[in-house]
Structure 1
Amino acid sequence: MSGSIKRFSFGRHPVVIDFGSSAEHTGSSVLVHVGQSVVLATCHVHPPSFQSRPPGLVISFVERSYARGQISDYSQIQQAELNNADRSRLLEFQSMLNDTLPDNHELRIELNLLVFSRDPQVEPIFAGVIAASCALGITSTPQADPIVLARLAKINGVFCTNPSNSAIEKSQCDLWIYGSSSQTSQVRGSANELDESELICAIEFGQREIRRASNSIKEWIIEHSTTNTHFTKTVETPLKRKIAALAKTSLMKIFQEVEKKDLLSKLSNLQKAVEIAICINEIDESRKNIIAVYFCKCVQEILREHYLKIASSSYVHETTRLHTRKVKAHLFPRAHGSASYTVGDHCAIALTTLGRDRSSLNGQYVEEKKSFDVHIHSFADDTGAGCQSPTRALYAGRWVADTLRSVVPKLDIFPYVIQVDVEQVGMHSSSPDEILCAAMLSMLDAGVPLFSVVGAVVVGVICSPSQLIPLIDPDDLEKASCNVVATVAGTMTGIAGIDLRSKTLLTREILQDLLSQAKQARFSLIALMEESIGTPKELSKFAPRVQILKISSRKTGQLVGRGGSVVKAICQQTYSNVEVFPDGTVRVSASNDDSLQNAIIAIQKTLKPLKPGQVFEGVVSGIQENGLLINLSPGRDGFLPREQLLDAHLPVREQFKIGGCIRVVCESVNHNGQGQLSVKALHHESAGNSRY
């Protein structure tokens, strides 16, 4: 069916869209290729009369081992576990698609995405988003333009879309942008101190690429859409107008109060009054839920109207000031690093743990990119209030880790695995900006030599045709009323990360206003953080000690010894851990400074060439009739003949025992590299020196 195929380029990869199946009762099936990644999307829409489950959008994203060209164990064939990055992106994707659907529709939409092939250079989520947009489009009447995901990078000073995974390592930024031809929904990613003006150029470039791809997908949907599924509205327009009429005056009075004490309680009481006014005693749960949805929308609209009215007053300046922060460090004696970050009733406590590269943190070798991670935990009361879902905690933790990674030293500079655990102990879940600041402070307390201090703030913008109203630290109600909400993180030099949600097309004016406010607030916050904790502290006495040594690659065999005998001896004698790599890198780690230094000295002795005249404090490792075997250093022995002892006439076994210490001098080295030792020569030398 060549007529059903749509081809276009999206950044650096070709895109092919085609029908995935012609079988009956399979729903709308679309197969999409992006590079060598191939994803099949199947969409099923169940009308209310045929539903056995609640309405809504449900997405499954499955990738099996064959997609990577691997054979899995039989016990794992039925498993389709996604890694943390894919699960986090799936959460983002589902949120984006939900925003394109009508409010309170009564249909259950099941969207199944199956990865048939995974290009190692192209994430399958790009093909998955296009396939999902196509499947939804041909299943039902499109309610919005198709959603597209683009990855943006700046390589060698040039912006590019959807670069390969290997190329992204050289990029100054890594931005993931969701959008369509009519709006930008999300901008999320990290950067290496990107200037605000450069970030604006990057987003504008991404919007142009997304608009072009979205229009190409829309053309294919219009050409092949054969059904006309209607989304049934559950709320009548008259009801919405009635709710607004009942609540508007009271809402304006509430928002005009400068002190917003008990705001949520007042809104809850007003909502109950509206419910009673509409339904009196005939209210049921479904009706109550409908009223709650439209009351919430009414609150958002009135709050927007309120801020637009006061835009010229002095009060609006209060919205561009940071809320009070409380910062504390070194909270717990045995933690390698700890800090708390409190804003209002939100409190995040971060604890940093340092480990060796082959670390007790996870018991396995850790790659450079995985040597730093952030884990967010939640603490809820009996009712579950304030509990952050595991998926959202994963989402936030990944963004925080990606943002901070640019200021965390590499393993060759600071040879530790760094794990930050964040506990949320306030009344409500902490936001990503608060979690990031807590993590930053705890790493400084742990002695991590960060390149710069990173601060993060939340900025919202309320847009109208003639006004832009910025809000710093907006609360949940204010966020819902904003057209754009962004968490912006960065240093005093530039932007390190951004997480932006938008309900409109991002213009240069909106971005300039938002980033300008974020920059001022960020500078104030960084000054507060630096004043609170200052420079990185010394390593905790409970943290392991690690040091990297460099030796000639030709000497690695000498240090390792036959069957690892030499390096094992060093580890046992010094209570340390020594890892030797083929390139000559030696990683030495121990639980304290003394053991670390003893291990380093032992390595230096082992590698130092044996020469006549060298004096050693040796240990008796063997006793023979004609002499002693002396261990000079781990893996290196010498022979002390009987005639070179001071009391050569006495039996050797009567003079020495295994494990005894003895001071010797090397007289010569035989062809096997073994030292010929003497005590007499050392004694005569000492006696000779005493005459002068």
Structure 2
Amino acid sequence: MGNVYETEISGRTLSVESGRWAKQAGGAAVVRYGDSVVLVTACVTENPRPGIDFLPLVVDYVEKTFAVGKIPGGFFKREGRLSEYEVLTSRLIDRPIRPLFPKGFYNEIQVIATVLSADKENDTGILAMIGASAALTISEIPFQGPIAGARVGRLDGELVINPRIPDLERSDLDIFVAGSRDAILMVEGEANEVPEEEVLDAILFAHRSLVPVLEIQERMAGEIGKEKRAFEKKVLPEEDVKKIAEIARGALSDAYAIQAKQDRRKRIEETAEAVRSAFPEEERAEKAALIADAFKSLEKKIVRGKITRERKRIDGRGLSDVRPISCEVGILPRTHGSAVFTRGETQVLVTATLGTSQDEQRIDSLLGDTTKAFMLHYNFPPFSVGEVKMLRAPARREVGHGALAERAVTKVLPQGADFPYTVRVVSEVLESNG
């Protein structure tokens, strides 16, 4: 028997267990709420991945159809690539935990949340979030948690933490909040045009509800947690930092006054190359990530200085200046609807297609077979930023951005018998100044 920690949330017992399953993982937690059960594991590589300057964290939320007593459809009868919902839940977990790893920690980290049982009443995404934090907290991975997550709805005018999934249909807001004891780390949700102050009340209500779950994890860390891996961020010697500043400060200041993005990027890359060339070849290879870190830090100082001292942003705009905005409609002759929206160097071509109820998207999930009458698909091709890449299936970012816009637009569309049609909107990014 493993170590079990329990608390009450909205009249139901939430338990987190560790030490019985997946013992070879760096950290593992089994979270139960009602009859929903999620196993979450966290593992880390021994050494940093060479040649990178970002945190190589991967979060995968995986639903098993056996969790609801189903056999997968299709010819092969087994789970395949992640569904859109699994991708969105993976991103939901990733966002609040990613900032809590030490800056400069470049070891690969993988968090896998596997849904083992789903009762169709208790949201397994919430359990996966809690389990991810618990697994990281008791592992040797340097993680500045714990955190917890909660979903808040409003039923008959009363705020409810982790409402049962069937009850969400009559809730006028649905917000997921993740946070620590001291801060809110992430908010994602939708509402039926609820006033801002009421949304804020719901967010703070959800944040207060996290305390019992955080206390569980703090007890776990003290009683069964592994000793954290020692980590000290490597930094360049002060003389090298000064050397980079001497070479790059003036050039970067000039570069960030250039309005055109591609011209600005070219000048910045030329400056970065000048900095790299100032170090002997052997030293350059050994300190590549540290040199890149110091260069980025200098960039941030310069941009921040322009804002605070000169009251100007990257492209020379004032703090309240808006990029030039234009919108054209009806530009494609055979589409049902089309528009091009341009703001500065960001441009999006959007089309709308109207169909019948037979065109609805069929979704096979753990909650059963459902349909969707409104879809918004977002595509970010490489040419939009002047790059060359293989065209593949939509990346997680594209799925996430499309879902974000879809949730907003859905709430202002007519529903049901008032509008018995299917609508597909496709957003093609033609330029991006991000």
Deviation at 1:416, TM superposition (A): 0.9
Which runs of structure 2 are paired with 1:661-676 in the superposition (5 Å)? none
Gaps of 5+ in 1: 429-474, 477-692
Deviation at 1:212, TM superposition (A): 4.8
Alpha-carbon spacing, 1:113–1:368, altered in 2? closer, same or farther (3 Å):
closer
Deviation at 1:33, TM superposition (A): 0.9
The one of 400, 403, 407 equivalent to 1:398 is 403
Give 1:96's aligned residue.
96
Partners of 1:47 and 1:353 in 2: CA distance: 50
Give 1:15's aligned residue.
14
| Larger Rg computed on CA atoms | 1
Deviation at 1:249, TM superposition (A): 4.4
Give 1:378's aligned residue.
380
SS at match of 1:272: helix
Query: Whose relative contact order is higher, 1 or 2, with alpha carbons under 8 Å and at least 6 apart?
Result: 2
Alpha-carbon spacing, 1:350–1:240, altered in 2? closer, same or farther (3 Å):
farther
Deviation at 1:39, TM superposition (A): 0.9
> Counterpart amino acid of 2:104?
N
SS at match of 2:411: helix
Partners of 1:371 and 1:74 in 2: CA distance: 23
Q: Which moved more, 1:222-231 or 1:346-355?
A: 222-231
Deviation at 1:100, TM superposition (A): 1.6
Deviation at 1:327, TM superposition (A): 0.4
Alpha-carbon spacing, 1:79–1:345, altered in 2? closer, same or farther (3 Å):
same
Give 1:46's aligned residue.
45
Deviation at 1:251, TM superposition (A): 7.0
Deviations 1:91-136 (A, max 9, x none): 2322433322123324333333221111212221211111111111
Alpha-carbon spacing, 1:337–1:256, altered in 2? closer, same or farther (3 Å):
closer
Deviation at 1:216, TM superposition (A): 3.3
Partners of 2:127 and 2:161 in 1: CA distance: 14
Residue 4 (structure 2) pairs with residue 5 (structure 1): yes
> Counterpart amino acid of 1:214?
L
Partners of 2:260 and 2:74 in 1: CA distance: 60
Partners of 1:379 and 1:387 within 8 A in 2: no
SS at match of 1:320: coil
Q: Which moved more, 1:322-331 or 1:198-207?
A: 198-207
Alpha-carbon spacing, 1:164–1:116, altered in 2? closer, same or farther (3 Å):
same
Residue 274 (structure 2) pairs with residue 269 (structure 1): no
Which runs of structure 2 are paired with 1:501-540 in the superposition (5 Å)? none
Which runs of structure 2 are paired with 1:86-165 in the superposition (5 Å)? 86-140=86-140, 142-165=142-165
Partners of 2:206 and 2:251 in 1: CA distance: 39
Which runs of structure 2 are paired with 1:347-362 in the superposition (5 Å)? 347-359=347-359
> Counterpart amino acid of 2:334?
R
User: TM-score, structure 2 length as denominator?
Assistant: 0.83
Identity rate, percent:
22
Which runs of structure 2 are paired with 1:209-228 in the superposition (5 Å)? 209-228=209-228
Residue 238 (structure 2) pairs with residue 233 (structure 1): no
Partners of 1:88 and 1:395 within 8 A in 2: yes
Give 2:323's aligned residue.
323
Give 1:333's aligned residue.
333
Number of aligned residue pairs: 423
The one of 425, 430, 450 equivalent to 2:430 is 425
User: TM-score, structure 1 length as denominator?
Assistant: 0.54
> Counterpart amino acid of 1:414?
F
Give 1:83's aligned residue.
83
Alpha-carbon spacing, 1:300–1:144, altered in 2? closer, same or farther (3 Å):
same
Across the aligned residues of Structure 1 and Structure 2, the Cα RMSD in angstroms comes to 3.7
Partners of 2:98 and 2:112 in 1: CA distance: 15
Deviation at 1:372, TM superposition (A): 0.7
Deviation at 1:400, TM superposition (A): 0.9
Partners of 2:239 and 2:162 in 1: CA distance: 46
Residue 419 (structure 2) pairs with residue 414 (structure 1): yes
Partners of 1:215 and 1:235 in 2: CA distance: 35
Partners of 1:21 and 1:30 within 8 A in 2: no
Give 1:528's aligned residue.
none
Which runs of structure 2 are paired with 1:238-637 in the superposition (5 Å)? 238=238, 241-242=241-242, 245-246=245-246, 249-250=249-250, 253-254=253-254, 257=257, 262-277=263-278, 279-282=279-282, 284-285=284-285, 287-310=287-310, 318-359=318-359, 370-381=372-383, 383-384=388-389, 390-426=395-431, 428=432, 476=434
Partners of 2:355 and 2:421 within 8 A in 1: yes
Deviation at 1:47, TM superposition (A): 0.9
Deviations 1:187-232 (A, max 9, x none): 2222221222223222222332235533432232222113332235
